[in-house]
Amino acid sequence: MQRETKAFLAFMAPAVLLIAIFAIYPLFNTIYLSLSKYNMASGAPIVFNGGANYMRTITHPQFINSMIVTLRYTLIGVSLTMVLGFIMALLLSSGGAIIKLLRSVALMPYLICSVAITVAWQLLYNPNFGLFNMLLNTLGISSINWLGDVKVALYALVATDVWQFTPFVMILMLAGFQGISPEYYEAAAVDGATRLQMLFRITIPLMKNVIYTILVMRIIDTFKTFEKPKIMTDGGPMRSTEVINVHVYRTSFVSWDFGMGATGAVIVAIIIAILALIVVKLSRIDRD
């Protein structure tokens, strides 16, 4: 074995070991638990039961409800962040010191710790002294129980997510805009194209790969969400904000049913992978 190869393996060994301990082993252990009956509170040993957990999970009313809530949260949140992020990127795509300052300010919500954002918005939504109800009362409108009303709570969580992640979409869109050659716009301007025509015939077509990439990232982000519904509503009221990860948490660490909890986690991972593959497939079809 050559000296360079030995050196390469020596440098790679710690990284491979860490990945094996903290990524590969937990993954396979979760899959094994999902195929087993294991309730830690009962003290009973782990018993392999094949796919029984999966049949119980996909037919369980609470799991079905959490999937519906998660899909609604994802659909609304991703759609709004993509549209608003694109619009903000268009508005802030020009140069100038003021525009650069506005970019930095607009990016701040994404740079703040997610838990801190969640707690801050929970205070803003407070039905007694929250800023939002104070503004409504000033306008002569009755207070709203933002996090305690079944019809409103999920949208309140979505608003928090949109506020936090729209800057993330914006900055990636801005990077995509910078990859478009100005020559396209100059040629279109010579031909008499309007700004709207340039947007739909030049900018968006050339940005499709970037848009699809951001879309996959946002779908994964929203499907993984946990801290917002856990801290702000704990899945309530009446499980109207119980996203899939809150359901998995309750199953695993409240009911101590690690087998069923692992099953839910594996199903979530499979769904995320399928959604990502669908978006990637659509992007390839669009390129063809």
Whether the Cβ atoms of residue 227 and residue 118 lie closer than 8 Å to each other: yes
Whether the Cβ atoms of residue 86 and residue 204 lie closer than 8 Å to each other: no
- What pLDDT is recorded for position 288? 57
Whether the Cβ atoms of residue 195 and residue 93 lie closer than 8 Å to each other: no
For the chain, the C-alpha Rg in angstroms (whole number) is 24
List the chain domain ranges. Answer: 62-287
Superfamily of domain 62-287: MetI-like (1.10.3720.10)
Q: Specify burial of residue 268 (Cβ count, 10 A radius: 0-12, 13-18, 19+).
A: buried
> What does 137-202 look like in DSSP terms, one character per residue?
HHTT-----TTT-TTTHHHHHHHHHHHHHHHHHHHHHHHHHHTS-HHHHHHHHHTT--HHHHIIII
Distance of alpha carbon 133 from alpha carbon 202, whole angstroms: 44
Distance of alpha carbon 245 from alpha carbon 234, whole angstroms: 11
- What pLDDT is recorded for position 284? 73
Distinct helix (H) and strand (E) counts, the chain: 15, 2
Which H helix or E strand runs over 36? strand 36-37
What's the angle, vertex CA 33, arms to CA 235 and CA 244, rounded to 5?
20
DSSP 48: E
Tell me phi and psi for residue 113, to 5 degrees: -55, 135
Q: Quick check: helix, strand or coil at residue 231?
A: helix
Task: Kindly give the confidence (pLDDT) of every residue in the chain, 288 residues in length, as a single tens digit, with 9 standing for 90 and above.
Answer: 577 787 788 888 888 899 888 888 888 999 999 999 988 878 788 888 888 999 999 999 999 999 999 999 999 999 999 999 999 888 888 766 677 777 777 888 888 888 999 999 999 999 988 999 999 999 999 999 999 999 999 999 999 999 999 999 999 998 888 888 889 888 988 888 888 899 889 888 889 888 988 998 899 889 889 999 999 999 999 999 999 999 999 999 998 999 999 999 999 889 888 888 888 787 776 665
- What pLDDT is recorded for position 235? 93
Q: What is the 3-state secondary structure (H, E, C) of 68-102?
A: HHHHHHHHHHHHHHHHHHHHHHHHCCCCCHHHHHH
Tell me phi and psi for residue 57, to 5 degrees: -70, -50
